Amino acid sequence: MASTESTESFDLLAIAAHRDDVELTCGGTLSKAVRAGHRVAILDLTQGEMGTRGTADIRAAEAQRAAAVLGVSVRENLQLSDAAIVNDPPTREKLARVIRRLRPKIVIAPALQGRHPDHIASAQLIRDACFLSGLAKLAPDSVKHRPRKILHSIAYRQDFVRPSFVVDVSDDFERKLEAIRCYASQFEGETQAGEVYPNGEPLLDVVRHYGAYYGTLIRRPYGEPFLTTEMVRVDDVLALEVSTF
């Protein structure tokens, strides 16, 4: 477990399979939430030991630097097996115990579909652990807690699922790229990472183009897309942003 292990309760907890996943998919949203005064934490499920480049130690240092760039002070690692994440009862309980300790109101999880098996397994594992964490009889030595909402970050998906909403990250996009740049051991000269399919351009350029594309959906420079399986409620239609024409 990382040295920054926390017992605070958090507003927002971003959980993903590998170090660098959250920077790529929701780094702008995390940075923006921190600037808004929310308590934000990151939980990486694996140490990335199966990655082609860099060692787990180098990646740990890179991950802490990237979190600092985003303003996130707590980043933990669940130390599941990289490229072998399974959604079984012991793993669900292990994750539920961390959710109970961090007590997040909102959890960000990967998309339910993806190119990496760990991403797909993580998405359902996180949903299940969030639910089970609210059952008093699971691990009764810890206090139950169920996050109110799960947001699936669906950036880079190629199945063209319509996002439930897009977060305006225009003021945080350069910070997101700076956080991604912290992973020098992985990304130097790379054109592909995580769910980002390569087009021959440097990785950061591809990430920028995607961010700009999601931005156009909300008429802003940069955006990050999310999907919720539940409906988003609107109370005042006159407060709706984004013009039709």
Binding site for Zn ion (CB under 5 A): 17-18, 21, 194
Query: In the complex with Zn ion, which residue's Cβ is closer, 13 or 24?
Result: 24
Label residue 136 exposed, middle or buried (CB < 10 Å: 0-12, 13-18, 19+): exposed
Does residue 144 sit in helix, strand or coil? coil
Cβ distance to Zn ion smaller for residue 115 or 181: 115
**What is the nearest approach in angstroms of Zn ion to the Cβ of residue 122?**
8
Shortest Å, Cβ 116 to Zn ion: 5
Q: Give how far Cα 12 sits from Cα of 109, 124, 194, 206, 225, Å.
A: 11, 18, 22, 27, 16
Q: Which residue is nearest to Zn ion (CB)?
A: 18
Q: How far apart are CA 129 and CA 205, in angstroms?
A: 35
Instruction: Tell the smallest beta-carbon distance from residue 1 to Zn ion (Å).
Output: 20
Whether 142 contacts 132, CB under 8 Å? no
The single-letter DSSP state of residue 219 is T
Q: How far is the CB of 61 from Zn ion (least distance, A)?
A: 18
Q: Which is nearer to Zn ion, 23 or 168 (CB)?
A: 23
Exposed/middle/buried for 230, CB within 10 Å: 0-12, 13-18, 19+?
exposed
**Would you say 100 or 156 has its CB closer to Zn ion?**
156
Query: Which residues does residue 75 pair with via DSSP β-bridges, in sequence order?
Result: 42
Tell me the residue type at 144. K
Q: Is the Cβ of residue 138 or residue 196 nearer to Zn ion in the bound state?
A: 196
In the chain, where does DSSP find H-type helix?
A: 21-35, 56-70, 89-102, 117-132, 173-181, 184-187, 203-217
**Residues near 9 by Cβ (< 8 Å), separated by ≥ 6?**
39, 102, 103, 104
CB of 110 to Zn ion, least distance (A): 8
From 195, 55, 201, 38, select the one nearest 104 (Cα to Cα): 38
Nearest approach, Cβ of 181 to Zn ion (angstroms)? Answer: 17
Nearer to Zn ion, 56 or 139 (CB): 56
Nearer to Zn ion (CB atom), residue 121 or residue 132 = 121
Nearest approach, Cβ of 51 to Zn ion (angstroms)? 9
